[in-house]
Structure 1
Amino acid sequence: MSLMKNLERLPGLYIVATPIGNLSDLAPRAASMIEQADLLLVEDSRVTGKLLQHLGLKKSMRPYHDHSSEADREAILSMLGDKMVVLVSDAGTPLISDPGYKLVHEARARGLHVGAVPGPSAPTMALTLSGLPTDRYLFAGFIPNKDKARVDLFEEFVGLRATLVFFETGPRLAKSLAAAGQVLGDRPAAVARELTKMFEEVATGTLNELTQRYADAPPKGEIVLVIGPPGEASAPDEADVDAAIDEALETMTPSRAAKEVAARLGLKKNDVYARVQQRAKH
């Protein structure tokens, strides 16, 4: 028997959140939308297949992921006028570090109906469990694999007064924690892994403490890294800034020295760079 037999089936695109681990977290309305769908757009049919098996359903599935072409998107858009198409990701809320925004954008641009069923989201859950400030936060997706790209990413957020939320993998976690500590300073942080699953764990501490914890013991499972905002530090005086610059210039280029000192002292990089140039002339 349909779970939504008394509700009107409207054609269009529906973004439906699915569990991030525990299948019992699937909302009744999400189950109803999946049951009624003419087509499911999925990242991996094997993963969504397990969810369908849990629901006792068999549905038509079509892949939609990072490698889907413009032709794939056009074919899907052509269905939305008279079919109910549901977009799901492998876990959590679609479009959060998952493909889909181009499809939603184009559907709206063409005046097609777009709806959503809210539900599980790993970044939100990790943030609420972390014990870190939640009044202002930024989700920045996956941390890059390359060392320089990783450092560059953290440098973007040095002066941002907000809690930072990232996705990361177990084997790369210690490197990312160390890089974050180097660039952002030894801030409070939390490592949340396997959320809603049997081995759920949330480890808290400073970035340096967590780096040591995972240096020789990379954790398994899916990980969300939460890093607290910068503390309220008093502005360093000019003598402290000059001393830090002189020390950095002994081993670094002027550009690199400016980045390092700005990050360490919580100053604007351009201001520090101007002072670095003055010091480098002496």
Structure 2
Amino acid sequence: MTRPNTAADSDQLTFQNPVTRYSTVEPPIQHQPEPGLDAELEPKADHGESSYRGTGRLNGRKALITGGDSGIGAAVAIAFAREGADVALNYLPDEHADADRIREIIEREGRTAVLLPGDLTDKALCASVVSDAVDALGGLDILVNNAGKQVVAPSLEELPDEQLTDTYAVNILAMFRITKAALAHLTPGSTIINTTSIEAYQPAPNLLDYASAKAAINNFTKGLAQQLATKGIRVNAVAPGPIWTPLQVSDGQEKEDLPKFDQVSPMGRAGQPTELAPAYVFFTSSESSYVIGETLHVNGGMPTP
């Protein structure tokens, strides 16, 4: 699988120019039905398959990642495994081919990979995915709430009610439900990382449901962080900017806007999923032991409050 890396195959620990680490994506106009597959994405994204180098910071840890089959979730899964963690991945059943590929990468690192397909709009599934992860991994001390639904709607009048309810069910209600179920298993030293978005700060007019749900994630993160601080469970969030994932080509962007996807950030290129992974590793490792309720922006320089 080729990756859009114009520099040498350098890892995240190599001194390098961030502007030229990756070439611009310049994607052709393309479409995939939801939820989209990384296997069919053009050009391919870098999840860290050969570019992420671990340092053992998560040895013996046990993680559940929602939306772990592709994009940011897949990159985080690979990074966690290379840092020494066992990983359970939740994803939609239609995404099994992508998830199976990430499982193979994790297992090549000598770590356990558990596949837990299921739709997070199902309230019961949100509880069972946690218990299944705990049973398969022998415990749980990392929760990454990463699954997201993003579909454009040109105007509020054209936003279907089903899309509105599904977007909120996946992006914020599932986060409440999964986290609530996980708290029965998390002990002091455990961490929760939520994926929010630049859209929480700079909402696109055609992503009202997605952007407002992401803003809710910010609030949820800061409130829950205070609630759990004295229990020794840290809660933080990562806010990606324009990252090249299957979400963008499965109605996450207007098709005619795809060729201009790289022109949004001051850096002049889109981010690759693997460039998000170190932020999640930082929040999960003991290096960030005094960091709670924080949102770390990984967006190529797009201004945020």
Instruction: Indicate the TM-score class for this superposition, using the shorter chain for normalisation.
Output: 0.3 to 0.5
The structure having more radius of gyration, on CA atoms, is: 1
Q: TM-score, normalised by structure 1?
A: 0.34
Q: TM-score, normalised by structure 2?
A: 0.32
RCO comparison, higher one (Cα < 8 Å, 6+) = 2
